[in-house]
Structure 1
Amino acid sequence: MRAAVVRSFGGPEAIELLTTARPSIKSDEVLVRNHAAGVNPVDTYIRAGQYAKLPPLPYSPGKDGAGVVEQIGDNVKHVKIGDRVWYGSELNSSAQFTAVKNAFPLPDGVSFSEGASLGVPYLTAYRALFHLAGAKAGDVILVHGASGGVGSALMQLAAWKNIEAVGTAGSEQGIEFVRSLGAKKVYDHTKTGYVDEIKHDYATGFNYIFEMSAHLNLNTDMGLLAPRGKIAVIGNRAETVINARQLMATEGSVFGVALGLSTNSQLIEFGNSIVSFLRETTFRPIVNKEYPLEDVGRAHKDIMSSKARGNLVIRID
């Protein structure tokens, strides 16, 4: 089979296009013939060898994918050969075939590229919003950086459950995009004075803030919390300086989000809930750009751009 392969950790140039053996499956796994694979920032950290849990070399980049079930293990009952499926939080998705533990139905009307955009972004957003934060109808949340993959998933999932969601973005295009996701209001986080605008409009603060760039915004977020509000740190690329006294003023708190700490039963719960979300709404992942398999390295560069909007996808079929 054709596969993008990393044989030594490094930059995007470490990704090679090779012909490799089709993977074998265990009794509780399925073999998916991939039509599309997702690209996420975490893929670049793993490829560079800068992630807490690294796969054994060689491996194929990517944790998300969508395709058709080619083969099932003896103990698999939830899907059958020929089913359209999506998966996330796995490994080796940038290849024609991937052995997968948790495969979820891809509803009719959802494309393979959209399905490949569900895994890391929507599973992370679901874990953060519902499992860890416990957000519910009537809450008011701020998604600080709402135009990316996880941010846009948060906005859609919040709208699904009638949670008032406010977002920020860094361009006119991004602002219009976030509005289309069901945002109550959107602010330009590159504009001087935008924090004062937020404080004026939401003087009582936010129950939850979901932060994609904690190294830039964590201290600001602390001043935007409602009493006993919480900040979820989903993305961070450097150290930051904070004034913790702001947390004392609201009895607020900060917690991290790590999809990799989910148990398998939790991932199954999250995945099944996302299937329900797709069936109950017209919301879909936003596919910003698609790449051929040989351009995985280019996609790894683009996903780290500050202008990244929506999701990037590798087309394999």
Structure 2
Amino acid sequence: MKAINIQQFGTSEQLKLAERSIPNMQAHAVKVRVYAAGVNPSDVYTSTGTYAVVPELPYTPGLDGAGIVEEVGEAVTHVNVGDRVFIAASTQGLCSGTFAQYIVCDAAFVHPLPAHITFEQGAALGIPALTAYRALFDRAELQQGQSVLIHGASGAVGLQAVQMAKAAGAFVIGTASRTQGKELVKATGADVVLDHISAENVEALRDATNGKGPDIIIEFLANVNLQTDVEVVAKRGVIVVIGNRGDITVNPRVMMQKECDVRGMILWNATADEYAALIKGVTTLLEEKVLQPVIGQAFPLEQAGAAFDAVMAGTYNGKIIVTID
């Protein structure tokens, strides 16, 4: 089969298209012919060898994907040969890597894909959908009628978070930096779209929330925004940090005055039971047709390195994927 093969940690230049053997099947595994794979920042960090998870070399990257079931292990009952499915693996090693024509994956991470969702959209689920759902409903404990600020809403996670929060009955405020991104956030369902919150436009945020500030903030770049988040969040509000790229100085006195909560989140901490609940929540939203992943750009498999570069550059709104012939 064709697959991306990483033999050495480093830059995107290490992503080489190669011929590899199709992995062997096991009793609790599913073999999938993959037609699209999602590219996540964690995939890029892992390929450098500096991430928390360091796979054994050589390896094929990719945790998210979508395709058709080719074979099921004797212990698998929830999917069958010929089913359309999406793959949402929680860590490297549990699947053979979705940047390939075929994968063999632990059956727990293979799920039915509704007919109205394309393979490309299916590849955009996985980490983005589960992250958005966990942040909103597990960590922030979102309730109907609350206001939610999604700070950086034009990315893969942010756009799905907008759709989920709106479906839950929240008042949704999204931010983006470019005109196209703002238009996309609005079209996805946000009630209000603003520039990234700063001292210059904080009054617009207060106006949108009748002066109280958002009840919940979903934060993708805490090292830049956390101090501002603390200042603008509603009293007893919740800030969920799901992205960070450095250190920051924060004045805890403001947290004391607000009695707000700052809660970290990382998807890998979900237990097996929590993962199952996340999948159930996401698949329910898919079936109800309120969750529609947005594709920013698709690259062919042989240009996987360019897809990695695009993710880190933040060039596109929505999800970056690779398509696999």
TM range (shorter): over 0.9
Contact 1:64 1:118 in 2 (8 A): yes
- Aligned match of 1:72: 72
Matches within 5 A, 1:31-180: 31-90=31-90, 91=92, 92-101=97-106, 102-180=109-187
Greater mean alpha carbon deviation, residues 179-188 or residues 263-272 = 263-272
- Aligned match of 1:238: 246
Over the aligned positions, Cα root-mean-square deviation in angstroms equals 1.4
Contact 1:159 1:182 in 2 (8 A): yes
Deviations 1:29-59 (A, max 9, x none): 2111101000111111111112112222211
Contact 1:127 1:259 in 2 (8 A): yes
Deviation at 1:190, TM superposition (A): 7.7
TM-score (norm. length: structure 2): 0.94
Q: What is the alpha-carbon distance in structure 2 between the residues aligned to residue 307 and residue 20 of structure 1?
A: 31
Q: What is the alpha-carbon distance in structure 1 between the residues aligned to residue 247 and residue 208 of structure 2?
A: 30
Q: What is the alpha-carbon distance in structure 1 between the residues aligned to residue 129 and residue 147 of structure 2?
A: 20
* Pair 1:9-2:17 in alignment: no
The runs of at least 4 consecutive aligned structure 1 residues that moved more than 2 Å come to: 199-202
**Structure 1 residues without counterparts, runs of 5 or longer:** none
Q: What is the alpha-carbon distance in structure 2 between the residues aligned to residue 2 and residue 70 of structure 1?
A: 16
Contact 2:241 2:262 in 1 (8 A): yes
SS in structure 1 opposite 2:234?
Answer: strand
Q: Flag the 1:147–1:221 CA change in 2: closer, same or farther, 3 A.
A: same
Contact 1:25 1:31 in 2 (8 A): yes
Contact 1:293 1:316 in 2 (8 A): yes
What letter corresponds to residue 99 of structure 2 in structure 1? S
SS in structure 1 opposite 2:162?
Answer: helix
Number of aligned residue pairs? 317
- Aligned match of 2:316: 308
Q: What is the alpha-carbon distance in structure 2 between the residues aligned to residue 258 and residue 59 of structure 1?
A: 23
TM-score (norm. length: structure 1): 0.96
Q: What is the alpha-carbon distance in structure 2 between the residues aligned to residue 282 and residue 134 of structure 1?
A: 19
- Aligned match of 2:195: 188
What letter corresponds to residue 297 of structure 1 in structure 2? G
Q: What is the alpha-carbon distance in structure 2 between the residues aligned to residue 49 and residue 255 of structure 1?
A: 27
Picking from 205, 216, 220, the partner of 1:208 is 216
Contact 1:170 1:190 in 2 (8 A): no
Q: What is the alpha-carbon distance in structure 1 between the residues aligned to residue 62 and residue 252 of structure 2?
A: 37
Contact 1:104 1:272 in 2 (8 A): no
What letter corresponds to residue 182 of structure 1 in structure 2? G
Deviations 1:13-34 (A, max 9, x none): 1111111110123221211110
Greater mean alpha carbon deviation, residues 142-151 or residues 278-287 = 278-287
Deviations 1:241-292 (A, max 9, x none): 2111110111112111111111222222212221111111254100111111
